[in-house]
Amino acid sequence: MSNASQPGKPPQEDPPSFDDIPIAVRETVVESKPKARSLTWLLWLGGLITIALVSGGSWFAYQASQVRTGVTASPSPSPSPIASVSPSPTDDRVLNHFAYPEAPQSELEAVSADDGIKMRSVAAKSFREMVAAASAEGVILNPLSAFRSISEQQQVYFNVKAERAQTLEQRALVSAPPGYSEHHTGYAIDIGDGNVPATNLSPDFENTPAFKWLNENATKFNFEMSFPRGNKQGVTYEPWHWRFVGDKASLELFYKAREFQQQASPTPSP
Ligand SMILES: [Zn+2]
């Protein structure tokens, strides 16, 4: 019986072994594994692209905002020159005197008849106009000393200090150390009264017609007294010493010192 039906039977003498099924299952699993890996890999790739796009977009947005606000992404190579400005007017003083640069000889011109006394051209012009205006009222403004080099100030400060046996501080009350005199700038001048020469470079100059005239008229010619009585800078009262403050350069040179012009303890108002 079995033989009669055998020819119709498919040749299954070797039924699938037990191991075949798991193999088939495994194959399915094995086949599905690459698919799963591909899918995971695609998801990772998509995620990475998304992250790259988002972060890239943020970077461009940041750069755009920096450009709008005028800030560059690269750090500044050097600090701003404004930041290097001295924060306090007292920082660069020596013995109460401010440091001043020496005016170039080429920018100086004479204000005296013998050409020995010189100022910067703009200050010299204004001084001559002031002399003429005073002269018209019978007052003689006599130039005594104006531009002084740093080496000349060396003599004025240290040699006289030694002769008079003064301390640095005592000397600095009446004379600036070399490099710290307003006379270096070519904008400062010591003025005497031509009719009262005995008061030259003396506090008594304040009693002369020349001083009275200067007090009333010097500002019209952009001159001001550098060291009024009781000035906060701590320099002895010098009624004969005036400085030109009538252009940008002189303003920039003297603006710090001007904060010390007024009296340290002004008389309280009633
Ligand atoms: Zn002087």
Determine the distance separating the centroid of ligand 1 and the alpha carbon of 243, expressed in angstroms: 9
pTM: 0.64
Bridge partner list, 188: 243
Give 201 Cα–ligand 1 centroid separation in angstroms.
8
Expressed in angstroms and rounded, the spacing between residue 266 Cα and the centre of ligand 1 is 24
Ligand 1 centroid – CA 199 distance (Å)? 14
What distance in angstroms lies between residue 189's CA and the mean position of ligand 1's atoms? 6
Task: Yes or no: say if 181 and 94 are a contact pair by the CB < 8 Å rule.
Answer: no
pLDDT, tens digit only, all 270 positions of the chain: 444 444 444 445 444 444 444 444 444 444 444 445 555 555 555 555 444 544 544 444 444 333 333 333 334 344 433 333 344 544 578 998 999 999 999 999 999 989 899 999 999 999 999 999 999 999 999 999 999 999 999 999 999 999 999 999 999 988 999 999 999 999 999 999 999 999 999 999 999 999 999 999 999 999 999 999 999 888 899 999 999 999 999 999 998 888 887 765 544 444
Cβ–Cβ < 8 Å for 251, 222 = no
Give CA angle at 181 (145, 214), nearest 5°: 50
pLDDT of residue 42: 54
Ligand 1 centre and the CA of 145: distance in Å? Answer: 7
Question: Do 185 and 253 touch, CB atoms closer than 8 A?
Answer: yes
Q: How much distance in Å is there from the Cα of 227 to the middle of ligand 1? A: 9
Q: How many Å apart are CA 249 and CA 228, to the nearest integer?
A: 22
CB 213: neighbour CB atoms within 10 A? 19
CA 253–ligand 1 middle distance (angstroms): 16
CA of 241 to the centre of ligand 1 (A): 4
> How many angstroms is it from 182 CA to the middle of ligand 1?
7
Tell me how far apart the alpha carbons of residues 41 and 25 are, in angstroms, rounded to a whole number. Answer: 24
Task: Quote the pLDDT of residue 41.
Answer: 54
Q: What is the pLDDT of residue 115?
A: 86
**C-alpha 225 – ligand 1 centre gap (Å):** 10
